[in-house]
Amino acid sequence: MKKFVAALISVVAFSQVVTAAPYYTGVGCNAEGTKCTFGKPSKRVLNWTKQGTVSELGNKCEKFLANIEGRKNIIAQNRPVVLDYRNFTYMWSKKIDAQGQAEIICQVEIHSELENVKIVSETYKKLNWVCDTKDQPGICAHLKSECETLRDQALQDSTVLDATIYKGGSLAQGEICYVATAKFK
The pLDDT score that the predictor gives to residue 147 is: 95
Confidence category of residue 5, pLDDT binned at 50, 70, 90: very low
Find the range with the poorest average confidence among 30-39, 59-68, 155-164. Answer: 30-39
Percent above pLDDT 70 for the chain: 90
* Average confidence (pLDDT) over 124-151: 91
pTM for this predicted structure? 0.81
Which of 61, 152, 68, 72 minimizes the C-alpha distance to 107?
Answer: 61
pLDDT digit string, tens, across residues 78-99: 999 999 999 999 999 998 887 8
Phi-psi region of 150 (alpha: psi -120 to 50; beta: other; left: phi over 0): alpha
Confidence category of residue 31, pLDDT binned at 50, 70, 90: confident
CA distance 122 to 125: 9
